[in-house]
A and B are shown apart, each in its own frame.
Chain A
Amino acid sequence: GAVVSQHPSWVICKSGTSVKIECRSLDFQATTMFWYRQFPKQSLMLMATSNEGSKATYEQGVEKDKFLINHASLTLSTLTVTSAHPEDSSFYICSASGDRAAYEQYFGPGTRLTVT
């Protein structure tokens, strides 16, 4: 139980285009979803927290207009990287918490974004 999926698992896009990453909770209702970014050999950096039906709360230094987060349902959150640039290339990981144990987060498998 407590499975979180991400799609796509990897994506290559051209500079200036936008790319959407989906995060789904498959067997529980995710009242809160989190988006992380991870650079090679580094820890996870929290980008934003979203509650279903509410606007996302972004961490300091994260551009809201560049990283659009939508949490429209209890099983789906999306991260859209707008006007992507090579420096946005990274590993993006989502996690979710919800009706099982509010203190515990379940992580997706991650999405590797490469901007050329």
Chain B
Amino acid sequence: AQSVTQLGSHVSVSEGALVLLRCNYSSSVPPYLFWYVQYPNQGLQLLLKYTSAATLVKGINGFEAEFKKSETSFHLTKPSAHMSDAAEYFCAVRGGKLIFGQGTELSVKP
């Protein structure tokens, strides 16, 4: 069975600082992994996805994530945070269903 754990329900960074949102997964088969962003009262927007091609995946808005099989991780990073990055971020793994982590709220301080 697949599962996802996001470490840290809330992360706060200063504008211009590195963003690191952690995600660890459990899967008995090669996983499909996703990061989504959700702004208040909106649906989910796909940031990036891993589908067993390149382990370093680049997404929209300057985000990227690296698939590390040995660590069962798929952490999301962005070199320089912007105020507009403040949102809820969800990591997800696709098995038979799409299974979401609990989410990490990112705050960006000016």
Residues of A within 8 A of B (CB): 4, 6, 34, 41-44, 46, 49, 91, 93, 95, 103-110, 112
Closest to A111 in B: B43
The proximity string for B residues 66-110 relative to A, scoring 1 for CB distances below 8 Å and 0 otherwise, is 000000000000000000000000100010011011110100000
Q: Check B43 against A110 for contact (C-beta < 8 Å).
A: yes
Cross-chain contact of A103 among B36, B45, B51, B103 (Cβ < 8 A): B51
Say yes or no: A49-B41 contact (C-beta < 8 A), given A44-B90, A103-B32, A103-B51. no
Q: Check A103 against B94 for contact (C-beta < 8 Å).
A: yes
Cross-chain contact of A107 among B44, B94, B102 (Cβ < 8 A): B44
Cross-chain contact of A109 among B32, B42, B94 (Cβ < 8 A): B42
Q: Check A43 against B103 for contact (C-beta < 8 Å).
A: yes
Closest to A104 in B: B49
Would you give the shortest CB distance from A1 to chain B, in whole angstroms? 12
Main secondary structure of the interface of A (DSSP, over half): strand
Q: Check A46 against B97 for contact (C-beta < 8 Å).
A: yes
Closest to A6 in B: B43
Would you give the shortest CB distance from B35 to chain A, in whole angstroms? 13
Cross-chain contact of B41 among A46, A91, A106, A107 (Cβ < 8 A): A91
Closest to A109 in B: B43
Q: Check B100 against A43 for contact (C-beta < 8 Å).
A: yes
Cross-chain contact of A105 among B45, B98, B102 (Cβ < 8 A): B98
Cross-chain contact of A43 among B32, B49, B102 (Cβ < 8 A): B102
Would you give the shortest CB distance from B31 to chain A, in whole angstroms? 10
The complex places the Cα of A49 from the Cα of B101 at a distance, in Å, of 19
Q: Check A44 against B100 for contact (C-beta < 8 Å).
A: yes
Q: Check B41 against A112 for contact (C-beta < 8 Å).
A: yes
Cross-chain contact of B43 among A41, A43, A49, A93 (Cβ < 8 A): A93
Chain A residues whose C-beta falls within 8 Å of the C-beta of B51 in the assembled complex = 103
The complex places the Cα of A46 from the Cα of B101 at a distance, in Å, of 12
Q: Check A43 against B101 for contact (C-beta < 8 Å).
A: yes
What would 6 more interface pairs be, CB under 8 Å, given A93-B44, A108-B43?
A103-B94, A104-B49, A105-B94, A106-B46, A107-B36, A110-B43
